[in-house]
Amino acid sequence: MTDQTLPKRILLGPGPSPVDERVLRALSQPLLGHLDPLFLRIMDQIQELLRYVFETRNRLTIPISGTGSAGMEAALINLLEPGDKAVVCINGVFGERMFDIVGRTGAEPIAVRAEWGHPIDVGQIEDALKQSRPKVLAIVHAETSTGVLQKLEGLADLAHAHDTLLIVDAVTSLGGHPVRVDANGVDVCYSGTQKCLSCPPGLSPITFSERAVERIRSRRQKVQSWYLDMSMIEKYWGSDRSYHHTAPISMNYALLEALRIVREEGLEARQARHQLNHRAFVAGVEAMGLSMLVAPKSRLWSLNAVRIPEGVDDQRLRTHLLERHNIEIGGGLGPLKGKVWRVGLMGAGSSRENVVLVIGAIHEALAEQGHTCPPGVASAEQVYELGA
Ligand SMILES: *Cc1c(COP(=O)(O)O)cnc(C)c1O
């Protein structure tokens, strides 16, 4: 492995996303100790920039040491105690994962479901809240397994009216779509580094509202996970600076650099870029006679699920893209296996160059299987020419 040069893949799957050279260079900086004053400053800068991307003033805003799933687990396990109820919205893989975690805490998960490819119906959420008066309402903002965006507006008011805290999974939206933690009244929001933040996988940014912190403080029993117990982790990231576990030093360097890049571009400009490239991609897909899985009003900009046309071999096309074009795209999961491709346009990967490249490559790979269709590149280009 050390003397093998790996190819530079163009990562247009469900994550990880392409990483800027600046972030890779940050990873190779000399190590500092986890209590070195210079590292403590880096931690402060990370917290400040995370508040910027989450659009929050929450004091407890840190990166969990672990991937996005660690953030998911931290959110649920800190807020729930055995016997509590939690309403979990499920319309894809990640809602299912939350449901599984809730059960492991000893709390009772109550599912509100929608068909994969569709958003959750707010009326059904309201009914579930009325019926069970849960401690927590958990929902995925950007369902990476299907490409569905869930609107967050109004959910917090519904939850808070029932004395319920709102947990939002923003793993595939933070840095690509507006998340607006404070404006949307979200109590706990977590993300991952390797999607729209364009950093390698390994950390999970998370933020807790004062309501959520209060809930943790008033727990009757300890959090079952020692490693993810926020009451201990916050002492290292807060003013105590007391050792809990050794922070993944290099990953934190990388995250800081990735967040600086987000700041330099500006959150709104970055979101607008994700939207524009998504629109161009869809134009290209539709010009080729292919169709999107999700209805226009619920489409993610960061993850595009394209229906696989009849008679086309899923794996063969993806292998073609990887081997001939160095492009990775994702396949479908669960009920969508073999039915859709998942094309991620996340972070640094969301560019005009990549949209044109992947549309052209898909067209070629379809032709290679004998599936002829009109080309899509010109239609994608036209979206850029006409502008936003
Ligand atoms: C990727 C993802 C996760 C899990 O993150 P890992 O880094 O793979 O642990 C959770 N939720 C959503 C919506 C995701 O897309």
- Residue finishing a domain among 225, 240, 264: 264
If you ran DSSP here, which 8-state letter would residue 209 be given? Answer: -
- The DSSP code sequence of 24-60 is HHHHTSPP--TT-HHHHHHHHHHHHHHHHHHT---S-
Whose C-alpha lies nearest to ligand 1, atom 14?
171
Question: Are both 257 and 376 inside the same structural domain?
Answer: no
Residue 290 sits in which domain range?
A: 266-387
Considering 264, 298, 326, which residue would you say is the last residue of a domain? 264
Q: Is the CB of 192 under 6 A from ligand 1?
A: yes
- For ligand 1, whether the C-beta of 72 sits within 6 Å is yes
pLDDT in tens, 167-222: 999 999 999 999 999 999 999 999 999 999 999 999 999 999 999 999 999 999 99
- Is 1 within a domain? no
CA 101–ligand 1 middle distance (angstroms): 14
Q: Are residues 118 and 140 in the same domain?
A: yes
- 260 & 270 share domain: no
**CATH code at 282?**
3.90.1150.10
Is the domain of 282 the same as that of 242?
no
Ligand 1, atom 3: closest residue by C-alpha = 68
Res 239: pLDDT: 87
Q: How far apart are the CA of 229 and the centre of ligand 1, in A?
A: 20
Ligand 1, atom 6: closest residue by C-alpha: 68
pLDDT of residue 4: 77
| 279 plus 251 within the same structural domain | no
Same domain flag for 240 and 376: no
| CA 69 to ligand 1: nearest atom | 9
Can you state the angle between helices 230-237 and 68-79, rounded to 10 degrees? 120
Mean pLDDT computed over 333-359:
98
Is the pLDDT at 294 greater than 80? The verdict is yes
Residue 7 lies in a domain: no
Tens-digit pLDDT profile for residues 69-102: 999 999 999 999 999 999 999 999 999 999 999 9
69: CA distance to ligand 1 center in Å? 6
User: At residue 160, does pLDDT exceed 90?
Assistant: yes
Statement: residue 46 has pLDDT above 60: yes
CATH no. for residue 159?
3.40.640.10
**Mean pLDDT of the residues in the chain:** 97
pLDDT tens readout for residues 224-282: 999 999 999 999 999 899 999 999 999 999 999 999 999 999 999 999 999 999 999 99
| pLDDT for 388 beyond 90 | no
The total number of structural domains in the chain stands at: 2
Torsion of CA 170, 196, 364, 323, to 10 degrees: -100
Residues 272 and 256 in one domain: no
Confidence of residue 284 (pLDDT cuts 50, 70, 90): very high
Query: What is the whole-number distance in angstroms between the Cα of residue 378 and the centre of ligand 1?
Result: 34
- Residue 1 predicted with pLDDT over 80: no
In a domain, 110, yes or no: yes
Q: What is the mean pLDDT of residues 359-377?
A: 97
Same domain, 52 and 197: yes
Q: Is the pLDDT at 66 greater than 70, yes or no?
A: yes
Q: What is the pLDDT of residue 3?
A: 64
Residue where one domain finishes, among candidates 264, 283, 315: 264
Instruction: Report whether residue 17 contacts ligand 1, using a CB cutoff of 6 Å.
Output: no
Q: Measured in angstroms, how far is the CA atom of residue 364 from the centroid of ligand 1?
A: 31
DSSP letter (8 states) at residue 188 = E
69 and 200: one domain? yes
- 208/210 Cα distance (integer angstroms): 7
Check whether residue 213 and residue 271 sit in a common domain: no
Place of tokens 């117990």: 229
Same domain, 361 and 374: yes
* Percentage of the chain lying above the pLDDT 70 cut: 99
Q: Which atom of ligand 1 is nearest to the CA of 170?
A: 13
